[in-house]
């Protein structure tokens, strides 16, 4: 039996469509920070594999709410890992500092520069150290028709304003949650006890937030003009990686996965809006 935690989030909802028999939980139905509750839930429901989509993702708020971020991003995954189930744990590009100039591989040294990044890295370690099978999947710039995300924000602002400013010096790759969900489902039959692996998944290609915003406006038929600005002109509470392109070679090789380019993925996703 599969358990999807954080099932009301972007990725959780996409996974639920692909795994209709999975048990779905959110913070209201299962508190992953409660070790006893997790252990009993896994036992009572005969859970073999947990796909952990639950996370504290308010990057800036985490700087002033570190305890809450730690509870959800570290204590929660550790409890899931110690429950006796196999765990697929979704992580983030924020475990890197963004000073590289070539795509980060799963084996590259981590160096998070924010509370969010540090708690997500600690959560990775907790899962890898404790689960009977542990798969960590780092992703970035996630979007979907659900929840709050950059695509929905750009479409809203594009309909309200004649022009907006978007940073042009943070480089990465958008990820359509539906594509990540399909990759995870393709991995499931190959996960076995004793596995300890880290993988990266985003869509293919590279862009800046400015490039991404321009594509969203164009494909959405919005006339809003996007102005490129440096990160220094848009200060945030938490530091962001300036470069967070992730290498997907390992996941493509190990699971024979084909990954769409981010522009094609965006076209397909926007059809659902």
User: Could you tell me the two tokens for 142?
Assistant: 């996630």
Strand, helix or coil at 89?
strand
Contact (Cβ atoms closer than 8 angstroms) between residue 138 and residue 93: yes
CA–CA distances in Å: residue 50 to residues 54, 66, 78: 11, 25, 12
Question: Can you say whether residue 195 is alpha, beta or left, with left for phi > 0 and alpha for psi between -120 and 50 degrees?
Answer: beta
| Residue 116 annotated as catalytic | yes
Q: How many whole angstroms separate alpha carbon 112 and alpha carbon 201?
A: 18
Q: Which H or E run includes 185?
A: helix 177-187
Q: How many whole angstroms separate alpha carbon 152 and alpha carbon 254?
A: 33
Q: How many whole angstroms separate alpha carbon 40 and alpha carbon 122?
A: 24
Closest among 48, 39, 12, 35 to 178, alpha carbons compared: 12
CA–CA distances in Å: residue 124 to residues 10, 74, 88, 96, 143: 20, 8, 10, 13, 22
Helix (DSSP H) and strand (DSSP E) numbers for the chain: 11, 12
Neighbours of 106 (CB within 10 A): 17
Catalytic-labelled residue, pool 70, 104, 116, 199: 116
Q: How many whole angstroms separate alpha carbon 188 and alpha carbon 55?
A: 21
% helix, strand, coil for the chain, step of 5: 40, 20, 40
Active site residue ranges: 116
């Amino acid at each position: 039996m599969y358990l999807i935690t954080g099932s009301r989030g972007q990725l959780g909802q996409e996974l639920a469509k692909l795994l209709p028999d999975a048990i779905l939980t959110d913070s209201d139905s299962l508190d992953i920070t409660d070790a006893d509750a997790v252990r009993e839930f896994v036992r009572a429901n005969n859970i073999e594999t947990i796909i952990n989509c639950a996370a504290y993702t308010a990057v800036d708020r985490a700087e002033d709410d570190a305890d809450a971020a730690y509870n959800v991003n570290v204590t929660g995954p550790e409890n899931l890992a110690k429950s006796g189930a196999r765990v697929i744990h979704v992580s983030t590009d924020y475990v890197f500092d963004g000073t590289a100039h070539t795509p980060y591989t799963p084996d590259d040294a981590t160096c998070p520069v924010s509370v969010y990044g540090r708690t997500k890295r600690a959560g990775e370690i907790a899962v890898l150290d404790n689960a009977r099978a542990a798969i960590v999947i780092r992703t970035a710039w996630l979007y979907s028709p659900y929840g709050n995300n950059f695509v929905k924000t750009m479409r809203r602002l594009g309909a309200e304003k004649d022009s907006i400013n978007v940073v042009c010096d943070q480089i990465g790759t958008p990820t359509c949650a539906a594509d990540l969900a399909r990759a995870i489902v393709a991995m499931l039959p190959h996960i076995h006890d004793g596995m300890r692996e880290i993988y990266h998944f985003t869509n293919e290609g590279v862009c800046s937030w400015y490039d991404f915003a321009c594509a969203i406006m164009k494909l959405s038929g919005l006339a809003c003009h996007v102005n490129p600005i440096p990160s220094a002109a848009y200060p945030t509470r938490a530091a962001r990686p300036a470069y967070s392109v992730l290498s997907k070679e390992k996941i493509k090789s190990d699971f024979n996965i084909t990954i769409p380019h981010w522009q094609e993925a965006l076209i397909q996703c926007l059809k659902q809006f």
